[in-house]
Structure 1
Amino acid sequence: MKNHLCFLFIVLFSAVPAQSLIQGKLLNSEQQPISGVSVSISPEDSDDILAYAISDKNGGFSIEVNSEISTLKISIRSMDYAMVSEVIENKNQTLNFYLTEQAIELKDVVVKASPIRQRGDTLNYSVNTFAKEHDRSIADVIARMPGIEIQSNGQILYQGKPINKYYIDNLDMLEGRYNLANKNLAHKEVASVQVYENHQPIKILDSLVYSDRAALNIKLKNSFTFTGQAELGLGASPLLWDANITPMLFARNKQMLTTYQTNNTGNNVAEQFTNFSLSSLLNPVRINLEKKDWVGIQSLSTPNFPDKRWLDNNIHATSTNFLYKLKKDYEVKFNISYLNDYQKLKGATTTRFYTANDTIQLNETQFNQLYFNSLDANLILHKNTKKNYLKNTLELQGFWDGERGNILNNNENIGQQVENHYFKLANTLTSIIPIGKQLMNLNSYVGIDKTPQNLRIDPGQFINLLNQNMTYDLTTQNVAHQQFVTTNSLGFNKGIKHFTFSPSIGFQLMKQSLNSSIFVDETELTESVFNNDLDWTQTKAFAQLLTEYKKKKWRLSLMTPVIYSNYNISDDRNELGQNINQLSFQPSFNVYYEPSAFWKFNIGSNYSESLGDIHQLHYAYLMNNYRNIQKISAPLPESQIMSYRVGMDYKNPIKSLFWNIQYSHSNLNNNLLYATQIQDNGATEITAIQEDNKQLSHQVSSRISKYFGRLGANLSLKGSLGYNFSEQVINQILTDVKSQNMGFNAKIEKDISEALNVEINSNWTFFKNSLQNQSNAWITRQEHQFKLNAYPKENQFVGLTTEWSRNDVLKSNKDYFFADLLYRYTWKKANLDFELQWNNIFNTNNYSILSIDTYSYVETNFRLRPSQVLLKVRFSL
């Protein structure tokens, strides 16, 4: 593997052409420097720009040219000075130019702004260039900006990586829940979308700690903006409603966004409440509490196309977000959200379990009812300046969820019922202050949570294990999980010439308890093997040094943490326990190289060791759902992971072209092998065996996007290729499990005329697996979407969307066709939109998909929403 990585590294870096450095100064007739002047390099006989720069405040410019051409043309352009153009040799040199002032008389012209402009590490996308007449939110516009991608859940990627911040006028009010603004802020209020490359969110660390992630800033047209939207829709088949009231206020010293949304049309507004914040990578043992489910009903695999086609919902969601700037650069933020949703899912599944010498088939018809209630509140005090940093976050979170399910399993009717509650209270503090010529960094996290859950199955299951092979009416699984976590660290940041040293020390304490019991009918099983009484104490101490090197176009970072861990685990009822001490060294190394403003290269490796969590160790049986019960009475899982990555990015804002490619590989060694026993009715019992085993994965992905200004077209292509290998014991036979996947996406948007626009979006996916060298057939899936956007008159819009998909299922290919129609009339004087939506015109009511697990194929026939008509009225606030 090391040889492969070296080869990739040599190939990538040998692909960079020979470089020459051309630098100098621009001066006027009085020997004064001239800033803000464009200096470009092109071939002698062409106007194609090879590289460019903007003169700085001292009049200086520096351009690296990657070309084998012997002679070049340097051009200097400014509105206030006469143009300069000279032919020069392609070699390292210093050139000074004296510019002559010249007034330029402009003829009557139509000026078109450049779609993308770059200054330093900031890209400015012109909203007017990428916006279409039928767009409403800023998300509609961002989705077609080259280099930027919005995933189906709303997460924003730049050059294939998630952004680390979403600002509105350089303020972060929403703290990662940026979908609330992205999908509700009218694009007409936005002047430009800015991308801050290599963005370090903490200003005091900006020149010390390197970041390879970008941030997005929504730059509004006005310094004071009161905006938002209100819409109301009513429809039929059945009675439908869709309402959204979202006022927003953006001012110099305060921001506010409040929303109330409700619908039963399949519009999944819960995605707008998703938090996409990226956790800090500087703390090697950072743990944030989050909700995890111990039990659940048997779920249906949901289709991978828009929610509006299948989601049978009844949702009410509200959120209030407020930011106010105090004196001395402090900010106070308050975010609170509440969600209530009731969903119904209907479908049928055919599951084939593949073992080394047999195939087991399970047929299920399912009707699930899901009840979601959640509350999330944050109070934040924040200060972020070049001199110090403070952020304290107090978080309260609660879930009161329930699930109901009925399954017809091979002609047996099974009822399921789950109560799933969760409560969390946590506080996070980060403070960075200067002490002498260095920075002191303090981090503290304290949190508690509770997870009481209950699962009831009717009739009783696992009769051999739970009731001496006698049928019974009801199985009840009770689970109570509690935990307390605190993580604290103290560190320093010190810059010495080209180096930055960031040593830190810290500790973590985690205390957990897990109690569970199983009832057969109304009788509790008193045997210890059915009752977990687990106490878990985990302590960690760590010391680490982050060393970074920066010189010219190079960035190197080396993280060297040493972690001491102690796990004290006991279950008095089962008279079992473990006490484990581990000392580990877990280094990571990254190299970033930027030979020019166009190219970026990265290569990195990481080694980590981890011990399992409480979900991977319990000495008594615990029933997760009606056909899965497991006991993990084994040593604590231990894993050693070695991972590598290598990639490169290319961007040319002048040509609106963005491209990247990334390869990653991981090698995982485990001390436990999980044995799965599949019964004839599909029920599985999972146990753990102490035996070394490994998992391997390879992944390659690439994407390219290009905007053709003259053609009025956008083009994007994406591709991926993956391979995974693991070992499992299935029905007492050690089995090698291999899987492969491939995917390709092509999307093009084209203006046919001023009154007609088309969009084509195509996806192909291929996957297969094999067990013990017995290969199963390739599964293919393809989806093709065609949109026709027409403007018959100035104030009217007609949108026709068609989707065709083909899925391989267990026995045949299945084709599906959907069509939607939208008519919109805009009353501009009153700023009103009237919309008529007709979704699923042909009333396609079923959809089959095939998903692959490590040892099973699952075909799901899903019940879709019927054809429906909705009349909407929308106005801006």
Structure 2
Amino acid sequence: MNNSRKIFFFLISIFVVFAGYSQTEISGQVFDDNSKKLSGATIMISKDSISSILAYGISDSDGRFQVSVKTESESLFLKVSYIGFGTFEKTVQNKSQQLEVKLLPSSEALKEVLVKSEILQQRGDTLSFSVDAFKDKNDRVIADILKKLPGIDIRPNGQIFYKDEPIQKYYIEGLDLLEGRYNLANNNLSADAVSKVEILENHQPVKVLDSLEFSERASINIKLKKDITVSGTATAGIGAAPLLWQTKITPMIFNKKRQALVTYQSNNTGSDVSREIRDFSIRLFGDEFTIDKTDWLSIQNVAEPPFSQERWLDNNVHLGSANILQRIKEDMDLKLNISYLNDYQQQDGKTQTRYFTPTDTIDVIENTNNELYLSTLQGKLTLENNADKNYFKNQLEFNGFWNANRGLIDRPDSQIKQQLENPFFGIKNNLRLLRTVGKQLITFNSNTGYTKTNQELLVQPGQFEAIFNGGDPYEEIQQLVSAKKWFTDNSAGFTKALGRFTISPKFGFSIQNQQLDTDIFLGEGDEVLDADFKNRTEFVESSVYFKNSFRFKSKDETWNLNLSTPLAFKSFDLEDDNFEEKRNLDRLIFEPRFSVDKKLSAFWEVDASAGLSYKFAEIQQLYYGFLLNGYRNLNRYNAPISEEQQQSYRGGLAYRNPLKQLFLNASYSYSFTENNLLYSSNIGENGTTILEAVILDNSSNTHSFRGGGSKYFRKLKTTFKLNASYNLSQRQQLLNNTLAEVNTKSFSLRGSVDAEISSWLIANYSGNFSTYTSGFEKSDFQQIETHQHVIDLYFYPKDNQYLSVSGEYYGNSLSENGDNYFVNLGYQFTFEKPKMDLNISWRNILNTDQFSNAYNNQYYYVESSYRLRPSQVLATLKFTL
């Protein structure tokens, strides 16, 4: 603890010293020959006329600019350019000064600068990408454009990252219609309706905090071509075999006062429409209490293949969603986001699991057939007033799930049936208020919610005979779980600016009450009366806290420092009426965190952070009695409340050159964790696992390296992206009563190329190579390599039609049949009047019916085969609304 504080405050001292280093500031104003102020002029500074650029800036709406540069050169070369004007060049002394720049008209300069402006423009912290510059003939929706933009990365689940960090907001014409469910717009908004994609760097969504709280995250704003935009898509498709259908209609309207996006989708073609309502909202720091679904029980699943669901998902899905925003008055919006999903899925596969213990290896072979019934209703009702001097947001959110699963497992010596009823309901209200009072900003937050679930797992025949039935076989076992939770978290504070510093103290309290009742029944409903197999648990967590943050922003806005010093008194009370046991824990905790962001030049930026945090057990790790989580997993935590302390450190370097459309980033992070409990896994010969908590101090550490880059080659009309990561971790594990140190190493390299090779050929490639190695202490027991390569070719014999050919390869080093190949063909004809696409696709031409895959994790590895969809043909008509 003392060492961590010394390191923490030593880092603060280093950055404060660096903050005092001086820089040269070149500022001034740009005019044309008629003394009109020029907004958007590009100012570049280098050592001389042939050296690389040291710094650059953009003039504001008044033609003013300010560029900071740090160099030992005695002189600087200044270059100012603007569309349609001759370039201004001048050598100046390396000292802070103000200049007046006058540009003269020039038709020659117009041609060169205009080409670059058609691709990308910058205004302060806003980068504007022209959609038309990146759009190909086969691009239909805005997601097709976003995946090509340098600096942007769209992950397989649809989440958008900028410079390896998730975006915090997705706006359409400056309005947050979708509240984190932006896949609905990404996959349905026509690219023809969009003029620009804006990247809002260091974006502060709350206007009143814009000059007070520095934001490290970026947001995206979609700029439309028309003030009133009616857009969307409609799709109807049919195919075989078996009989296939696909229906989708997504109308949308956008104007200055109203936005609406409505969708209905249905298919049995393997398209996972649930991804479109996935919520990627970034939670506020300290927002610990949520109404996310908790799965206490589960059936044994098959590992899903790591590629497009259309290859393997056997589904029958219906989705309806309505998203409506109404501007009530200036800066005040009322929003409704609601969706209902109903899906039936089938899974069929084979799994071989091998467990490695310090003394033995254990193999489990399972043939699995599952039926999943999913029914979900989710919604948000939001009233938000985001004004320059005041902010108000009240959001009522609810989640309802009515899921049921059926599973059948064939093992060499038995057949096991599983039935799971898994309903869940949650509701919460979140209120945030910021109001200007004098020279202070008063803040108030309130988060209150309630969740409930009653889950039931039935397994036939019964398992764990030695524990439940004296070693004799028995007919069935039934696990019942009833869990409730209510919580409230309320705080008040203020924010005040003191010159370049901002302080934000906040006082608050929180209470969370959780109740857990579990029972086990055998045979014809006979309850297991032994106290070891039931729970009557109540867990109350309360906290009184004082959180303070200090922020500093330098005059030239190149330095941003943040120091938070939260202090909290936490109290935990656990009581179990069944065991007549009580556990109590009171702790005064201090969780400081320091971060700094420094703009070294117009292109280079560095950041670093260090923090200390504590984590205490949730009720999922606190019950005394055994709980049958799955047919071969029996858990209990008969131990004190777990306490975890973590030190974390991170440093990053980023390069962003909009003029060359080049983005690079690299980072290193380290975490060290100490825990008072260790979890013991006892693995039986048939793969049954009993998990229990053991009182034993232990530690773990993790090193992570990440790097990536993207570049757009304008002349080649090609976007190239490459990302790499390496992780190394060490932790302790109790396996079959033997203490062992488990080491893991992983490496991943993924890249993509999107190229318009000629007017008749477009090519896309994406690939991923990864390795994962795990072992005990100095000996590795398993290493796996995986490869994924996908290439798509689009041939255009005419502008209104194309032929597509795609090939896919997936392989791993562990499976005997680890090589998997797929080939697909497609043809599309575009009708101009009415505007629609006729698409005929032949998927899985090779009729590959099984996918073999393998993965490992800490002390076991799993080799699986998954039954795929057969070769099939699908014809669809897609209309652009």
Q: Give the structure-1-normalised TM-score.
A: 0.95
CA drift of 1:285 comes to: 6.0
Which residue does 1:438 correspond to in 2? 440
Specify whether residues 4 and 792 from structure 1 end up closer, same or farther in structure 2 by C-alpha distance, changes over 3 A only.
farther
Q: What are the superposed Cα offsets for residues 117-175 of structure 1, whole Å, 9 maximum, x if unpaired?
A: 11100000110111111011100110010001100000000000000100000000100
CA drift of 1:803 comes to: 0.7
Aligned equivalents of 2:262, 2:235: Cα separation in 1: 14
Match of 1:324 among 319, 323, 326: 326
Aligned equivalents of 1:8, 1:557: Cα separation in 2: 10
Specify whether residues 415 and 716 from structure 1 end up closer, same or farther in structure 2 by C-alpha distance, changes over 3 A only.
same
Is 1:295–1:453's contact at 8 Å kept on the other side of the alignment? yes
Further displaced range: 298-307 or 45-54: 45-54
1:646 maps to a residue whose letter is G
Are 1:621 and 2:626 an aligned pair?
Answer: yes
Specify whether residues 137 and 58 from structure 1 end up closer, same or farther in structure 2 by C-alpha distance, changes over 3 A only.
closer
Q: Structure 2 unaligned runs (5+)?
A: none
- SS of match in other structure, 1:776: strand
Match of 1:357 among 348, 359, 378: 359
Match of 1:750 among 732, 748, 755: 755
1:49-88 counterparts in 2 under 5 A? Answer: 49-65=53-69, 72-78=76-82, 83-88=87-92
Which residue does 1:211 correspond to in 2? 215
- SS of match in other structure, 1:573: coil
Aligned equivalents of 1:328, 1:56: Cα separation in 2: 25
CA drift of 1:527 comes to: 1.5
Specify whether residues 804 and 4 from structure 1 end up closer, same or farther in structure 2 by C-alpha distance, changes over 3 A only.
farther
Is 2:447–2:490's contact at 8 Å kept on the other side of the alignment? yes
CA drift of 1:106 comes to: 9.4
- SS of match in other structure, 1:785: strand
Aligned equivalents of 1:138, 1:107: Cα separation in 2: 30
Which residue does 2:579 correspond to in 1? 574
Which residue does 2:95 correspond to in 1? 92
Aligned equivalents of 1:229, 1:480: Cα separation in 2: 43
Match of 2:172 among 168, 175, 178: 168
Match of 2:410 among 408, 411, 433: 408
Further displaced range: 29-38 or 684-693: 29-38
Is 1:589–1:606's contact at 8 Å kept on the other side of the alignment? yes
Is 1:532–1:573's contact at 8 Å kept on the other side of the alignment? yes
Q: What are the superposed Cα offsets for residues 491-531 of structure 1, whole Å, 9 maximum, x if unpaired?
A: 11100101100000111111111000001112111111111
- SS of match in other structure, 1:618: coil
Specify whether residues 813 and 20 from structure 1 end up closer, same or farther in structure 2 by C-alpha distance, changes over 3 A only.
farther
1:845-856 counterparts in 2 under 5 A? Answer: 845-856=849-860
Is 2:82–2:113's contact at 8 Å kept on the other side of the alignment? no
Which residue does 1:871 correspond to in 2? 875
Which residue does 2:727 correspond to in 1? 722
Aligned equivalents of 2:719, 2:101: Cα separation in 1: 41
Q: What are the superposed Cα offsets for residues 609-653 of structure 1, whole Å, 9 maximum, x if unpaired?
A: 121000001111100000000111110111001111110111000
Are 1:554 and 2:559 an aligned pair?
Answer: yes
Is 1:194–1:217's contact at 8 Å kept on the other side of the alignment? yes
2:675 maps to a residue whose letter is N
Match of 1:299 among 298, 301, 305: 301
Which residue does 2:548 correspond to in 1? 545
1:438 maps to a residue whose letter is Q
1:546 maps to a residue whose letter is S
Q: Give the structure-2-normalised TM-score.
A: 0.95
Aligned equivalents of 2:344, 2:33: Cα separation in 1: 74
1:465-614 counterparts in 2 under 5 A? Answer: 465-521=467-523, 522-551=525-554, 552=556, 553-614=558-619
Specify whether residues 716 and 66 from structure 1 end up closer, same or farther in structure 2 by C-alpha distance, changes over 3 A only.
farther
Specify whether residues 746 and 33 from structure 1 end up closer, same or farther in structure 2 by C-alpha distance, changes over 3 A only.
closer
Aligned equivalents of 1:333, 1:145: Cα separation in 2: 30
CA drift of 1:288 comes to: 1.4
Aligned equivalents of 2:83, 2:582: Cα separation in 1: 78
Match of 1:265 among 253, 265, 269: 269
Further displaced range: 127-136 or 754-763: 754-763
Are 1:704 and 2:709 an aligned pair?
Answer: yes
1:253-292 counterparts in 2 under 5 A? Answer: 253-281=257-285, 284=286, 286-292=288-294
Aligned equivalents of 2:405, 2:33: Cα separation in 1: 79
Is 2:389–2:435's contact at 8 Å kept on the other side of the alignment? yes
Is 1:285–1:508's contact at 8 Å kept on the other side of the alignment? no
- SS of match in other structure, 1:778: strand
- SS of match in other structure, 1:510: strand
2:411 maps to a residue whose letter is N
**How many pairs were matched up?**
870
Are 1:239 and 2:215 an aligned pair?
Answer: no
Aligned equivalents of 1:384, 1:392: Cα separation in 2: 12
1:387-426 counterparts in 2 under 5 A? Answer: 387-426=389-428
CA drift of 1:602 comes to: 0.8
Aligned equivalents of 1:479, 1:809: Cα separation in 2: 38
CA drift of 1:775 comes to: 1.2
CA drift of 1:486 comes to: 0.6
- SS of match in other structure, 1:181: helix
Match of 1:857 among 843, 856, 861: 861
Which residue does 2:377 correspond to in 1? 375
- SS of match in other structure, 1:326: strand
CA drift of 1:9 comes to: 12
Is 2:31–2:103's contact at 8 Å kept on the other side of the alignment? no
Match of 1:680 among 685, 709, 728: 685
Specify whether residues 580 and 218 from structure 1 end up closer, same or farther in structure 2 by C-alpha distance, changes over 3 A only.
same
Are 1:773 and 2:773 an aligned pair?
Answer: no
Q: What are the superposed Cα offsets for residues 174-222 of structure 1, whole Å, 9 maximum, x if unpaired?
A: 0000000111000000000001000111110111011100000000000
Aligned equivalents of 1:50, 1:755: Cα separation in 2: 41
2:678 maps to a residue whose letter is L
- SS of match in other structure, 2:798: coil
Q: Structure 1 unaligned runs (5+)?
A: none
Is 2:811–2:853's contact at 8 Å kept on the other side of the alignment? no
1:599-678 counterparts in 2 under 5 A? Answer: 599-678=604-683
2:421 maps to a residue whose letter is E
CA drift of 1:289 comes to: 2.1
Is 1:18–1:68's contact at 8 Å kept on the other side of the alignment? no
Which residue does 2:123 correspond to in 1? 119
Is 1:242–1:265's contact at 8 Å kept on the other side of the alignment? yes
CA drift of 1:73 comes to: 3.6
Identity of aligned residues (%): 38
Further displaced range: 851-860 or 42-51: 42-51
Specify whether residues 105 and 566 from structure 1 end up closer, same or farther in structure 2 by C-alpha distance, changes over 3 A only.
closer
Aligned equivalents of 2:214, 2:114: Cα separation in 1: 38
Aligned equivalents of 1:234, 1:32: Cα separation in 2: 61
Aligned equivalents of 1:35, 1:803: Cα separation in 2: 49
Is 1:82–1:99's contact at 8 Å kept on the other side of the alignment? no
Further displaced range: 668-677 or 754-763: 754-763
Aligned equivalents of 2:72, 2:244: Cα separation in 1: 65
Specify whether residues 541 and 285 from structure 1 end up closer, same or farther in structure 2 by C-alpha distance, changes over 3 A only.
farther
Which residue does 1:452 correspond to in 2? 454
Aligned equivalents of 1:794, 1:490: Cα separation in 2: 61
- SS of match in other structure, 1:792: strand
Which residue does 1:795 correspond to in 2? 800
Aligned equivalents of 1:354, 1:672: Cα separation in 2: 22
Aligned equivalents of 1:692, 1:620: Cα separation in 2: 23
Is 2:709–2:723's contact at 8 Å kept on the other side of the alignment? yes
Which residue does 1:782 correspond to in 2? 787
Specify whether residues 33 and 145 from structure 1 end up closer, same or farther in structure 2 by C-alpha distance, changes over 3 A only.
closer
